Structure 1
Amino acid sequence: MKIKQGILFLITKSEVGGAQKYVREQIAICSKEFEVYLSTNEPGWLTEHVAGEIAGQLLDKRIESRTSIGYLTRLAKYIKEHGIGLVVTNSANAGMYGRIAAKMAGAASIYVSHGWSSVYNGGKLAFLLNRIERYLARLGDKVICVSAGDYEVARDKVGIAEDKLVLLKNCIFPVNATAAADRPAANGRLKLLSVARFAHPKRMDLLVAAMKGVTDAELYLVGGGKGEEEIRSYVHAQQLDNVHLLGEIKSFNGFGDYDAFVLISESEGLPMSGLEAMSAGMPLILSNVGGCKEIVVNESLLVNNTVEDIQRAIRALQHNYVQYKMPVKSFFDINFNLLVNQDKYLGLYRSLIK
């Protein structure tokens, strides 16, 4: 029997992305127990994938603006009208509007931080942005940090009180993919996969440049974005026949066709694409930023963002592939499998609904 009051998940954009996948899967585990609602900017990937699981949705492009009193008023009214007891917010704009509107409507609220942009990308405005985050944290009920590293940043750099913070490491449903092969392809060329947007904070440029010196491996890039054409031109100019741009593939699920996963980035919370690859049994090469070290089984595959260090990690993986691959799947199942860990989320949601 469903609880009378509902949960509203709020996220700024409905496009393909890690935060959107998080919301999609949280809706999936909540929809069996709660009346679940979604608010975002417009129809898109997320709205398509939750259509059969939500009781209603509020679509309004004004969420993309940071100064829309009209959207704030409409959101608060929507929360009241639908008997919503908890608002779970994701992304900066949604975190601001959702917590204020929840307070106005008498509902509880959670902000899920998928990486503290106020710290990593705030620049000269970091002090002001962190102050705003502290105020919003006091206004809401809890802040979920998706990695231990982000928890420390929230406490020590943003300055959020620990009684507001909850550490719930990102968990996902395992991807429906055949596990990666026990060893690289028969021709000895390691097949590397990267799934990411071609935009900041991802560093596809460094990853592609590293492939110039690793001629016995193949790199396959899945994703789109404003930097895609620049990377494509570089690959053509450098005649890198071991780099393949596959473009954006919605709901990509081909992890089992590759040997290892690579993600080079300036900042991360706990990368969802890395977790997807882990669930298929793939070793990970990740930048040593944010919570990445928490999902890499062997820290020698963590890299500094330099061409030389990326090349070092690829060669280490080539030489010890079976050793690096062997513990990945069991490590994922224990720590990051949403099928195993969903009660951690549901217990928190139950405790806050009034």
Structure 2
Amino acid sequence: MKEVLYIAPGNQNSKGGIGLCVNNYSKYMSDFKVLVTHRFTSRLLNTIWFPLCIIEMLFILIKDRDIKILHIHGASKGSFYRKYILFVIARFFTGKKIIYHIHGGGFRDFYLNASKFIQKRIRYVINSADLVICLSEKWKHFYTSAFKPKQIKILNNMIIPPVNTERMITNDKCKLLFLGLIGDNKGIFDLIKTIAKNRNQFEETLELKIAGNGEVDRLTDAISKWNIQNIVSFEGWADQNKKEELFRSSDIFILPSYKEGLPLSILEAMSYGLPIISSKVGGIPDLIHKSRNGILVVPGNQRAIKNAIIKLMNNRDLCENYSHNSTKAVVDYYPDRVLKSLFSIYHELQGNKGLLFEQN
């Protein structure tokens, strides 16, 4: 992998989806090279860090003559602004091939709601990149209809297969799991309100565990306000060991988001054989319809969320069928298949010349 420089946020302990995705790549590639653009939780520290990041990129490209491709991973808002600056500098000062890999579910709204000045910059990046990577057919349709990319490819997000998927049995209640950023965009407060409004129905039958970071105080206040502590528990941020425990002890995974690309949390839940309840947004419908492993709801529709939970709670055969389909479908997102597609993209971009890729 000495010919590719990854430009992405996060590091080995990243709590963001893009950082996790790139970190997963690094575990299966030798001589992995990455420029970290967003290293801290503090906005001030990241602002101070970014000019140093620009200098570091130029130093790497001047010193390391092996690099032929810059693989830039970005999303909306601040992520785009940082990558735009790096993209322009790299395009102006180097002759490297540039891949712009778009993550996140808010890019369409980000573009449509941006000023004309910002829209022009977005079009410049997407139209002048040597290749654009997106996460699903739905996103490919948007980018090809709204922009004029030179080339565009779909690449599945990659997850690492779990070592142990054996179920952990605790009690007879249905175990529901939410894993993600705590905030309105992920639909977590719609889920909390749904549980609260139907507390009498769920009190003896359901346990909801929530793990993640974000608006934690707002979440714990809501759980207390609605008096649902005996149904809902907040587990904090989940590292890899904690995530394994949560997935293995859960029956259903739920993510009723308003905006998504293709969430790694859903793919991870599928790798543990969990049925899915999620939203008709981003690349999720393509995944769930194709896999036939879950129920889709309209974002914000609390009645639909309630009905989906009850349907799976009361239908063990359906859950087992969805579980089997999850396990079967998720193999397309494991390293052997995703990296084969990624390496093919690199070779094609360079005209199959001079690129030597090696997996660990």
**Fold conserved between structures, TM > 0.5:** yes
Q: Residue 8 of structure 1: SS of its match in structure 2?
A: strand
Separation in structure 1 between the aligned mates of residue 115 and residue 207 of structure 2, nearest angstrom: 39
Alignment of 1:126-145 (within 5 A): 128-145=117-134
Q: 3-state DSSP class of the match of 1:328?
A: helix
| Deviation, structure 1 residue 253 | 2.3
SS at structure 2 position matched to 1:197: coil
1:253 matched to 2:244: yes
Q: Does 1:209 align with 2:193?
A: yes
Which residue identity lines up with residue 7 of structure 1 in the other structure? V
* Corresponding position of 1:48: none
Give the total of aligned pairs: 324
CA displacement at 1:186 relative to structure 2? 5.0
Q: CA deviation at 1:13?
A: 4.0
* 1:75 lines up with 2:75 in the alignment: no
Contact 1:120 1:267 survives alignment (8 Å): no
Equivalent residue, structure 2, for 1:239? 227
- C-alpha distance in structure 2 between counterparts of 1:175 and 1:102, whole Å: 37
Cα distance in 2, alignment partners of residues 304 and 63 from structure 1? 40
Choose which of 290, 298, 307 in structure 1 pairs with 2:302.
307
Q: How do 1:139-154 residues align onto structure 2 when only pairs under 5 Å count? A: 139-154=128-143
Tell me the TM-score normalized by structure 2. Answer: 0.81
Amino acid at match of 1:78: I
Structure 1 unmatched ranges of 5 or more: 45-59
Measured after TM superposition, the shift of residue 346 of structure 1 is 1.4
Which of the numbers 292, 295, 299 marks the counterpart of 1:298?
292
- Is residue 76 of structure 2 the alignment partner of residue 89 of structure 1? no
CA deviation map 1:52-103 (0-9, x unaligned): xxxxxxxx945876xx5x7545423322212221111112245323422332
Residue deviations 1:215-249 (CA, integer Å, cap 9, x gap): 12111000121x21111111111111211101112
Amino acid at match of 2:18: A
Check 1:256–1:71 CA distance in 2 against 1; reply closer, same or farther (3 A cut). closer
Aligned partners of 1:148, 1:101: CA distance in 2, in Å? 30
Change (3 A) 1:107 1:304: same
Unaligned runs of 5+ in 2: 75-79, 355-360
Please state if 1:191 is matched with 2:179. no
> Once the 2 structures are TM-superposed, how far is the Cα of residue 156 of structure 1 from its aligned partner?
2.0
Amino acid at match of 1:330: K
**CA, structure 1 residues 116+281, in 2 after alignment: closer, same or farther (shift >3 Å)?**
closer
In the aligned structure 1, how far is the partner of 2:164 from the partner of 2:89? 40
Q: Which amino acid aligns with 1:20?
A: G
TM-score, length of structure 1 as denominator length: 0.82
**Structure 2 Cα separation of the partners of residues 64 and 201 of structure 1:** 28
Kindly indicate whether residue 122 of structure 2 is the aligned counterpart of residue 109 of structure 1: no
Secondary structure of the corresponding residue to residue 185 of structure 2: coil
Secondary structure at the aligned position of 2:126 is classed as helix
Q: Take 2:81 and 2:9, find their aligned partners in 1: how far apart are those partners?
A: 6
Question: CA contact under 8 A between 1:80 and 1:105: conserved in structure 2?
Answer: no
Sort the Cα spacing of 1:150 and 1:63 in 2 relative to 1 into closer, same or farther, 3 A: farther
Distance 1:97 1:19 in 2: 18
CA contact (8 A) 2:280 2:297 kept: yes
Report % sequence identity: 21
Q: Is the 8 A contact 2:156 2:338 kept in 1?
A: no
Partners of 2:257 and 2:285 in 1: CA distance:
13
Compared CA separation, residues 258 and 332, structure 1 to 2 (3 A): same
Q: Which residue of 2 aligns with 1:228?
A: 216
When residues 64 and 312 of structure 1 are mapped into structure 2, their CA distance, relative to the original with a 3 A threshold, is farther
SS for the counterpart of 1:327 is helix
Deviations 1:185-208 (A, max 9, x none): 652x21011111113522210111
215-224 vs 6-15, which moves further: 6-15
1:174–1:218 distance in 2 versus 1, CA, 3 Å: same
CA displacement at 1:7 relative to structure 2: 1.7
SS of the residue 1:177 aligns to: coil
Q: Counterpart of 1:194 in 2: which secondary structure?
A: strand
